[in-house]
Amino acid sequence: MKVKIKFYSNWAIGSGKGGDSKDSIILNDDNGLPFIPGKTLKGLIRDAFLECNYSKEDAIRLFGQEKNLDIKTDDLEEGILRFNSAYLSDAFISLPKDIKAKLFTSKTATRLDEKKQAIDYSLRKNEVCIPLELHTTILVKENNSELVEDNYKKIEKALKMLKIMGEKRHRGLGRCLITVPEFDTIVINNTDTTEKSKTSKVTVTANTIRFKCKVTESLVLVKKAKTGQNIESLDYIPGNTFRGIVAGAIFNGDTNEFNDIIFNKTVQFGDAHLLIDGERSLKTPFSFYYDKNKDNNTLYNFHHLKDNDWIDKKLKSRKNGYLIGTEDGFKIKNIEYGNRIKSSRDRKKRSSEKGGMFSYHYIKKGQEFEFEVRSENSEYLTKIIEILDNKTKYFGKSKSAEFGGAIEIKFMKEVADQTITKNGKYLYAESNLCFLNEYGEFTATPSIKDLTEDENAVIDWEKSQVKFRTFAPYNFHRKNYDFERLIIEKGSVFVFEKEVDFNEVTLKKGLGCFLTEGYGKVLISPSFLKDKEVKTIPKDTTEKNKQETTSKDATEEDKTLIQFIKSKHKKNLTEIGIDNKVKEYITKNYFQKKPSQWARVFNATTQAKDTTELEGLLFGNEDDTIYTKDKSIFYGGSKNWNKSDIAKITTFFKEDIIKDKKIVALRKLAKKMIHKTKNSK
């Protein structure tokens, strides 16, 4: 269902934040444009749906079950529909920042007491949007297909009930018209639209296959099971997520095959890491430190530092980012995040629920990741390609509206086993690691046997940089979190007192537990750990990551609006330039004229129809019978102007910004000079 929302008045979807001189600012997308979150649309449409006297069973089926104190959140029934956020057309994305600012304006308001007098300190200034047109879609969540006729018409009727939207609706904001195509005019294709093209049969001969996935909707991957009011997102896509997708696809098939792929460590699903310049990156090691007093793109490995280094430098750990190696050094890039404040809704009071505010920390859309799947069984890998290739999947937090991370997955290539380093002094955790102690409990201090078969190996814990946290993966089949585990985070570095020999088979298989979920991958003495100093490539400040949207092409109305905004912006810049030039002339030049003389100049600017007539009134023309020189303002009469002042005005007219705006510019100059000469008496 394609939905068009056209506003006829100013409107506001607040962000819950203030900014600059405003008490409330508009919620913007990653491109700095106003939009309507899918969660907001879902709530409004649900309320309108119930106003249409449809049954609660229908509401639960389409929108999901409401929060209930008697039912756990994980046990609530999910609706079948997904409500995408409403965006402006693509033509607005490429607009410069200063022109985008013209889409916003401000409204002030104050509270009155019983005597109709303004209450002290009650003045508020709120940001609002000008009337715009936005587009969104409502789809069946399971396969991204069109709604069936009965559901389509019910949602259509509910949409027609919505006449106002956003904040301050009782004050005239948010008047809108929502339209959808007639059901009879749309082409119904309820095949699985997540499959963009038929996957060609791929016969795998190698042990590893790689996939690229692109985030097309904001993605929230909860870092902790107990998040409270600040929901922080992971900086990678766990391999367990792709394992779950495959498990759902083969759940009703052969039991032995299901157990073999999902549980028996036959197949390993790696984590998806950020792609930098088309290459899968690695988590920045926790051993990297930088000097806060210098900005020379040099990092220092903790295990190579001496006591004097801490005295000479102000070192601080670099905790975030992913890196790739290049000929010029290592390139480091951070995941692009966004943050959005949300609030639970009290449906009885039709307002925000008290104490229900929380924050989403999400991965911005448009970023690309890469992951790999490894198995000795090529038939399993072939089957996994058929399940994942050219599919769009939703997962993460808030899948039914706004977030849910629509991920486009595409098979890239198969990769043969590469030669690995088997001897070294440093062990780098490429993925998360998880170990059990002798009592079967999770531990953050693995033994030598957990890491290597070399009995003479000794870990230098003082030089090692190991970080750990708790993590509980979410099981969508059971709708609950699995048991909490203690994991060593990827990027951790174990340092041994001397070089250690490692078993190649063990390294390929992985270290520790949960290998099928992508855990256990390590690198031995990678190049970025061998030296004390690590050179990095300076960040390209000119690089701009344009976020993609799901909005439509610009309509004629949008094109007209954009053209109007651009012309208005150009006019404003010209006005500012003229004001600055007038101020500059008044400051640098001294005109020996009286207020009455400047008043004659001001009157001339109001009388003149064009520049030619203005110049005739000011300078005169010997060949003209109407504007003669002896009757002009500058040369005629007893109060004529001296040559130096006339020369200043002539130079003023030759300024680039003044040439085409002589009447307006001189009017401003004359008005300023009238006030200045009056005050100087």
Whether the predicted pLDDT of 630 surpasses 80: no
Contact 189, 179 (CB under 8 A): no
First vs last C-alpha separation in the chain: 72
| pLDDT 10s digits, 59-92 | 989 988 876 655 665 567 888 888 888 999 888 8
Whether the predicted pLDDT of 617 surpasses 50: yes
Give the rounded percent of residues in the chain with a pLDDT score beyond 90: 28
Whether the predicted pLDDT of 647 surpasses 60: yes
Find all residues with CB under 8 Å of 428, minimum gap 6, and list them.
285, 491, 492, 493, 522, 523, 524, 526, 529
Longest dimension (CA), the chain: 112
Q: How confident is the model at residue 621 (pLDDT cuts 50, 70, 90)?
A: confident
Whether the predicted pLDDT of 287 surpasses 90: yes
Domain covering 208-282+321-417 assigned CATH 1.10.3470 in the classification: no
Give the rounded percent of residues in the chain with a pLDDT score beyond 70: 87
Whether the predicted pLDDT of 540 surpasses 70: no
User: How far apart are alpha carbons 90 and 395 in whole angstroms?
Assistant: 26
Residue 563, number of CB atoms within 10 A of its CB = 10
Contact 84, 552 (CB under 8 A): no
| pLDDT 10s digits, 488-538 | 999 999 999 999 999 888 888 899 999 999 899 999 999 999 999 999 988
CA distances from 276 to 279, 320, 499, 549 (A): 5, 15, 32, 21
| AA identity, residue 140 | V
Neighbouring-strand partners of residue 411: 211
| pLDDT 10s digits, 315-362 | 899 888 999 998 888 999 999 888 777 766 666 666 667 766 677 788
- What pLDDT does 196 receive? 45
Q: How confident is the model at residue 131 (pLDDT cuts 50, 70, 90)?
A: very high
- What pLDDT does 673 receive? 86
Give this prediction's pTM.
0.74
Q: How confident is the model at residue 549 (pLDDT cuts 50, 70, 90)?
A: very low
| pLDDT 10s digits, 399-423 | 666 666 678 899 999 888 778 888 9
| More reliable by pLDDT, 409 or 169 | 409
Whether the predicted pLDDT of 628 surpasses 70: yes
Could you tell me how far CA 603 lies from the centroid of its own chain? 54
**DSSP 8-state assignment for residue 193:** T
Average pLDDT score over the chain: 84
Find all residues with CB under 8 Å of 129, minimum gap 6, and list them.
7, 10, 11, 12, 26, 34, 103, 104, 105
| More reliable by pLDDT, 572 or 202 | 572
- What pLDDT does 393 receive? 83
Whether the predicted pLDDT of 548 surpasses 50: no
- What pLDDT does 273 receive? 95
The predicted model gives 111-131 an average pLDDT of: 87
> Which single residue is written with the structure tokens 């609002």?
128
| pLDDT 10s digits, 423-467 | 999 999 999 999 999 888 999 999 999 999 888 899 999 999 999
Q: For residue 605, count CB atoms less than 10 angstroms from its CB and return exposed for 0-12, middle for 13-18, buried for 19 or more.
A: buried
Find all residues with CB under 8 Å of 371, minimum gap 6, and list them.
210, 211, 213, 237, 239, 242, 269, 270, 271, 272, 273, 280, 518
CATH 3.30.70 location in the chain: 208-282+321-417
Q: How confident is the model at residue 132 (pLDDT cuts 50, 70, 90)?
A: very high
| pLDDT 10s digits, 224-261 | 765 555 667 888 999 988 998 899 889 888 888 899 99
| More reliable by pLDDT, 374 or 146 | 374
- What pLDDT does 551 receive? 42
The predicted model gives 469-477 an average pLDDT of: 79
Q: How confident is the model at residue 312 (pLDDT cuts 50, 70, 90)?
A: confident
| More reliable by pLDDT, 294 or 118 | 118
| pLDDT 10s digits, 516-527 | 998 999 999 999
